[in-house]
Structure 1
């Protein structure tokens, strides 16, 4: 049986989601424990719960699109295809669903050529793939910088206020331009969001002051956010499901914003395709999932159809753990 995390573990995870680069001393002061306790808990969660803090690029802010792809395979192909997709740097989520015969993944192609090569070429030519659909994400209602941990309510309002980073310049609308130095900084933070300034300086070939200003600018304009990766079964939510909802156009925005408020929802976005909202949910068991579908999804106006697929195995969340990537 997977051990559940205690209240202090959850507080630490939520603190890191509020500010992935917060010093242990600031977290310790807010939680009322010692620096050594926070450091020890952090290391234990890394080992036991797969904890990682990752610096993530908001693709929509830098002018790139995200896609959800569904691939129906013959039974002997799905795991191999999922593993291959997980090792690609342009995938951020890969799971086996629908009895293990289907793979769902989120891809973040860095260019139109890369998108076309993958969606129009490689995936459709993959042997023993018998069904394929690709859905461009049009608008994110929940996900990206907003993570489930922010719904965990492990911290008091006073603790949240103490841990929330100081506000930076508000992100202006439109696309953010990133140069090669920014890309090097983003790549280093994706490997480890808590990488120190000296290591970031070496990765970028710039002075510490330049790195600090770049880091503040990327966070301020919304191109960079921090996400906490962990094994969801450790917080008692062992059942994951993907939902494909067909919603009346007039009710699309209202349904999406309602989903974002649901405690079970990890991700929700408007998308292209027959199902115009895609969501990912986490529940404590199948009865809770049933109650969620019946009580909360069933109460939304404008819902025409709902397709539900259980996640059998999550291969990749945001990144593979380093030990899982072969040499």
Structure 2
């Protein structure tokens, strides 16, 4: 079993989850931990791969295609091999297996012209028994908006990142295209995709432009949600060893309301609306099965008059998070 980090490390990780490029000085100011201690511990967390900070272009803004929630079933003996194969595919953003049945869940992005090739040929060549791909209308929360209830609201505000503004910017960009990235922007994103904390100096040298220009472009790309800086960490290290997929079926007109309620709970890592299936899908991060039972009772009490069915499926293993392939898939 993975041992949780101590309180100081947990606070540093929580700060990085909120703002992956936050300086050690800012994290020191936010947490009250001495800057030297923050720098030493933060460097260790990054060097050991406990936290990975990566830049990510939003898939719908870089022509990766439409977003789908995939559920793929196979025999237990093939679960690992199929999940590993899927995690190394460019079409997937995250991949996990379920404990409740022999199934893999994933977020996939597919262009219209590529759907038949990926689903009809390449996936079908794997030893699977069944699959479903459900269109994701919108996310009401993504993993970068999750905070593990370690820092308070004032501390989170000091760190300067706000997913709500980013999601609003993403919606505007889908409608009107507020940003037209060029080759320099693309190269900056590529470099940050390798190391989300790469210094401005290093980026400027690599792309051959001034530091002021690099800093301005990164800010513009983040403001329009073209670029997201994410910290990837196993929630078990923060004291939350149980992740569970929550599925709520309800009449289509109530889907938006349910997604909003789920996204308001800090334990929700992401919440998405799947209108074609008349359901909301979410992933919650919890301390124990007893907490999961409490969550299910609470959801039943609050949504019993709206939802037609509420299900929970604990996650077995994550193979990929936020486009980062994890050790389970190596």
Secondary structure of the 2:247 match is strand
Q: Say whether the 8 Å CA contact 2:245–2:313 is kept in structure 1.
A: yes
Secondary structure of the 1:5 match is coil
Q: TM-score with structure 1 length normalisation?
A: 0.87
Distance across 2 between alignment mates of 1:160 and 1:51: 18
Distance across 2 between alignment mates of 1:290 and 1:302: 19
Q: TM-score with structure 2 length normalisation?
A: 0.86
Aligned residue runs from structure 1 range 81-96, under 5 A: 81-96=82-97
Gaps of 5+ in 1: none
Secondary structure of the 1:160 match is helix
2:151 aligned to 154, 179, 186, which one? 154
1:17 is aligned to: 17
User: What is the CA-CA distance between 1:40 and the residue it aligns to?
Assistant: 1.7
Say whether 1:41 aligns with 2:41.
yes
Which stretch has the larger CA shift, 171-180 or 11-20? 171-180
Aligned residues: CA RMSD: 2.8
Aligned residue runs from structure 1 range 37-76, under 5 A: 37-46=37-46, 50-62=50-62, 64-76=65-77
1:132 is aligned to: 131
Distance across 1 between alignment mates of 2:91 and 2:183: 18
Instruction: Figure out how many residues of one structure are paired with residues of the other and give that number.
Output: 321
Q: Say whether the 8 Å CA contact 2:72–2:103 is kept in structure 1.
A: yes
2:315 aligned to 305, 311, 316, which one? 311
Secondary structure of the 2:42 match is helix
Distance across 2 between alignment mates of 1:261 and 1:76: 38
Structure-2 change in CA distance of 1:322 and 1:264 (3 Å): closer
1:280 is aligned to: 283
Q: Say whether the 8 Å CA contact 1:58–1:144 is kept in structure 2.
A: no
Secondary structure of the 1:104 match is strand
Secondary structure of the 1:27 match is helix
Gaps of 5+ in 2: none
Q: Say whether the 8 Å CA contact 1:50–1:321 is kept in structure 2.
A: no
Which stretch has the larger CA shift, 285-294 or 168-177? 168-177
Distance across 2 between alignment mates of 1:165 and 1:103: 32
Structure-2 change in CA distance of 1:98 and 1:221 (3 Å): same
1:246 aligned to 246, 249, 257, which one? 249
Structure-2 change in CA distance of 1:73 and 1:322 (3 Å): closer
Structure-2 change in CA distance of 1:20 and 1:258 (3 Å): same
The structure with more helix, counted as a fraction of residues: 2
